[in-house]
Amino acid sequence: MVRRGRAEVPSTGAHWDEDAACRNTNTDEMFVESTQQKRAKSVCTGCTVRTECLAEALDNRIEFGIWGGMTERERRALLRRRPDVTSWRKVLEGARDEQGHPQAS
């Protein structure tokens, strides 16, 4: 399991969270509401494992917190728009690879 604040989700086996920009941030800062979310999302800017983080939240339907630079509301909207997606990890990594961004190790 990966533990992030109040959320505990099955681990994908990869240790992407060890490289996360938020790893040394107080986890409560990533589980905020309203106007504080913009600041929390800024932690994700430039994070090398942003794709993996967002995929973790989408694939596991994590309801709370900022994950991969998206709020709960943004993730719910994306899930509603794309109910056909069975693996967000594949979708997001494919899009990242098409754009030529490096993959996290």
Question: How many distinct structural domains can be found in the chain?
Answer: 1
Is residue 104 included in any domain, yes or no? Answer: no
pTM: 0.78
On whether the CB atoms of residues 32 and 40 are closer than 8 A, the answer is yes
Average pLDDT on 18-36 reads 90
pLDDT at 10 over 90: no
**92 CB contacts (<8 Å, ≥6 apart)?**
51, 54, 55, 58
52: containing domain: 2-98
Residue holding tokens 């990594």? 93
pLDDT at 102 over 80: no
Is residue 103 included in any domain, yes or no? Answer: no
Average pLDDT on 27-44 reads 91
Q: What is the pLDDT confidence band of residue 89, given thresholds at 50, 70 and 90?
A: very high
Is residue 76 included in any domain, yes or no? Answer: yes
Adjacent-strand bridge partners of 88: none
**Token pair for 34:** 């309203």
Residues 36-65: tens digit of each pLDDT = 999 999 999 989 999 999 999 999 999 999
Q: Which carries the bigger pLDDT value, residue 102 or residue 3?
A: 102
